[in-house]
Structure formats: structure tokens, C-alpha cells
């Protein structure tokens, strides 16, 4: 998917006499956007985020030109199993929005229930406000956000949610909040609080990777570490991942499983070659099928 949006800081006058709006950057020239585009799989996720980024940037520039613009509400819910790219995408999104001048810093702060919920009255609001303060200019990513509603009527999780919602309004021009977690739990969480549905209008589903996508992720991970698979290893790991996708459960890990497999195989490779008297470049680079762990050992 390519989005062609060429932008510059000021407007030019066209031959027809109308002012041509040129925005600050070409979205495709953002290195972070290219990195987002190059992620394996996640086609619908990438398409949705490209649309939202383009929309936000154009609305910002319409405002600068005293044109009517629609309100930008980009707070999101990321739904999916572990290892489906939610945190990776959120981190890249922050960088893209910073490149576009929409977020002043573009950093990602990952938080969970323990970072937000206190042990006594008043403690939760204090802790949550501190996390909000650290997130300003970027994205606050609340992992397993549904746990904030699982403690019963007297639980302080609801106070954390209320504090987050108020802060979203107070800092609406320089803070993006993403709530993340398993699909079914997040659906129940949003439904349990009518106020959340309107404040988090963008819901993005992160599907499990299929076996071919997992294989491409493995190839990418080896390349990033300056390793290669020989033909026997490639065949075996493809079979391995096909078996994995047929038998996996929601907690299997997806790309996390592949990362563990890759890192375990690199350690086993090291164990296999470490005592050789002379190691060639090929010896140091090539992963053999004998280096792959048993599926149950990953």
C-alpha cells in the first residue's frame, strides 16, 4: 500500500489563481511510516492507521488555513492475542505522528494495572496522573486494560479509568491513549463503561499470524541477527510452524513464539560450534536443522 501525499511548509499559488495546499512532509518519506509498512502481515491494521494518520495531518493543515476541520479523536482500542504486533505497531505509530508534527515527542509508555491502581483512597489518581504526565507528547499504551474493571464495585481500577478519561480531555492535543488486550475481554470492558465507547472510537483487530507469515518473521529475525537458515533448517522450521498454527491456543504467543524459537536455536548453534578449533564465516552464520529445539522446549 502506498499513500502519495507530497507536502511542504507553505502554500503555493497555482496557475488558476487558487492556493494549492502543500503540507509539511511526504508521508511515505517518514522512516517510521516505511517501517510500519514493512511489517509482515497486518494489512488491514496498516491500512487503517495510514488512513487515520493522513486524516489527522490534513485536518491539522486545514485548521492552519482557516478551513473547517473535523475533530481529531485518535484514541484507540487494540484487540488481539499476545504476539500479534500490538505494542510494535503502537510504538511505530507514535514515531509517525511525531514525524508529522501531530505528537510533540512520539514516545510510547507501556503501562499495566499495577502502574495505575493504588492501594488506598487517592493513591490511584496520583499514580495514574504520574503515568499520564510521563506520556504527554506521546502514546500511553495500557496493556490488558480490561483488568481495570475486574476488581468489583470497590476496586480502584474504575478510578484509574476515570482519571485517564479526564486527562484525555485535558491534554487532547498532545496525548494518545491506546487500550489493549484480548478481543473478548476488551469488548466486555468497553461495553461495561458507556463513556469509553465514544472516547475510544477506533477499534483495531490484530489477527493471529498464519504459518507463512510466521516463517517470514523468522527469516527477518535471523537476518536482523546476521544469521541464515540452510535448506534443511528452512524446511524443518516451516513444518514446525505449520504444526504450531494448527495446535496453538490464544496464549501461544504468535511472533513471541517465533522470537523464542529463533533465540533458542541461536544458542543451540553456539553450543554446537563453540569448541571447533577453526570457525569459518559460514560456520558462524548458518543455522542447521539440528539447531532447532523441540516444539515443546520453546
Residue 294 has pLDDT above 60, yes or no: yes
Spatial distance between the Cα atoms of 67 and 72, rounded to a whole number of angstroms? 14
Could you tell me if 6 and 22 are in contact, meaning their C-beta atoms sit under 8 angstroms apart? yes
Spatial distance between the Cα atoms of 200 and 189, rounded to a whole number of angstroms? 12
Spatial distance between the Cα atoms of 261 and 9, rounded to a whole number of angstroms? 47
Could you tell me if 182 and 79 are in contact, meaning their C-beta atoms sit under 8 angstroms apart? yes
**Model pLDDT, residue 251:** 73
CATH of domain 211-297: 1.10.8.60
β pairing state of 19-20 and 12-13: antiparallel
91-100, 188-197, 206-215, 278-287, range with the lowest pLDDT: 188-197
77, β-bridge pairs: 179, 203
H-type alpha helices, the chain: 31-37, 43-64, 86-99, 113-116, 123-135, 157-170, 183-192, 194-199, 211-224, 231-247, 255-273, 281-285
129-159 residue pLDDT tens: 999 999 999 999 999 999 998 776 667 888 9
The C-alpha cell 495514574 sits at 128
**Model pLDDT, residue 22:** 39
Residue 16 has pLDDT above 70, yes or no: no
CATH 3.40.50.300 for domain 12-206, yes or no, is: yes
Cell numbers linked to 162: 476515570
Q: Where are the domains of the chain?
A: 12-206, 211-297
Length of the chain: 298
Percent of the chain having pLDDT more than 90?
A: 61
Task: With 0.75 as the threshold, say if the pTM is over it.
Answer: yes
Residue 14 has pLDDT above 60, yes or no: no
Q: What is the mean pLDDT of residues 255-264?
A: 95
Which residues neighbour 95 within 8 Å (Cβ) at sequence distance 6 or greater?
A: 30, 32, 35, 106
Spatial distance between the Cα atoms of 80 and 241, rounded to a whole number of angstroms? 19
Q: What is the mean pLDDT of residues 29-44?
A: 88
Which residues neighbour 274 within 8 Å (Cβ) at sequence distance 6 or greater?
A: none
Amino acid at each position: 500500500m502506498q499513500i502519495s501525499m507530497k507536502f511542504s511548509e507553505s502554500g503555493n499559488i497555482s496557475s488558476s489563481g487558487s492556493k494549492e495546499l502543500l503540507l509539511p512532509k511526504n508521508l511515505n518519506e517518514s522512516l517510521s511510516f516505511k517501517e510500519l509498512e514493512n511489517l509482515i502481515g497486518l494489512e488491514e491494521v496498516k491500512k487503517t492507521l495510514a488512513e487515520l494518520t493522513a486524516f489527522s495531518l490534513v485536518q491539522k493543515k486545514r485548521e492552519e488555513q482557516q478551513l473547517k476541520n473535523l475533530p481529531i479523536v485518535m484514541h484507540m482500542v487494540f484487540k488481539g492475542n499476545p504476539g500479534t504486533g500490538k505494542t510494535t505497531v503502537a510504538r511505530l505509530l507514535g514515531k509517525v505522528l511525531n514525524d508529522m508534527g501531530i505528537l510533540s515527542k512520539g514516545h510510547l509508555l507501556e503501562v499495566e494495572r499495577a502502574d495505575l491502581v493504588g492501594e488506598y483512597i487517592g493513591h490511584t489518581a496520583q499514580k495514574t496522573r504520574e503515568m499520564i504526565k510521563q506520556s504527554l507528547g506521546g502514546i500511553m499504551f495500557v496493556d490488558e486494560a480490561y483488568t481495570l474493571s475486574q476488581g468489583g464495585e470497590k476496586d480502584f481500577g474504575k478510578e484509574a479509568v476515570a482519571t485517564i478519561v479526564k486527562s484525555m480531555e485535558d491534554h487532547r492535543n498532545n496525548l494518545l491513549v491506546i487500550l489493549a488486550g484480548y478481543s473478548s475481554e476488551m469488548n466486555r470492558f468497553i461495553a461495561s463503561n458507556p463513556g469509553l465507547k465514544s472516547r475510544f472510537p477506533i477499534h483495531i483487530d490484530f489477527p493471529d499470524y498464519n504459518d507463512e507469515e510466521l516463517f517470514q518473521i523468522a527469516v527477518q529475525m535471523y537476518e536482523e541477527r546476521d544469521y541464515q537458515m540452510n535448506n534443511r533448517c528452512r524446511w524443518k522450521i516451516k513444518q514446525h510452524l505449520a504444526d504450531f498454527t494448527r495446535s496453538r491456543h490464544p496464549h501461544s504467543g504468535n511472533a513471541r513464539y517465533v522470537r523464542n524459537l529463533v533465540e533458542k536455536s541461536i544458542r543451540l548453534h553456539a553450543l554446537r560450534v563453540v569448541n571447533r578449533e577453526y570457525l569459518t564465516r559460514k560456520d558462524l552464520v548458518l543455522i542447521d536443522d539440528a539447531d532447532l529445539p523441540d516444539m515443546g522446549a520453546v
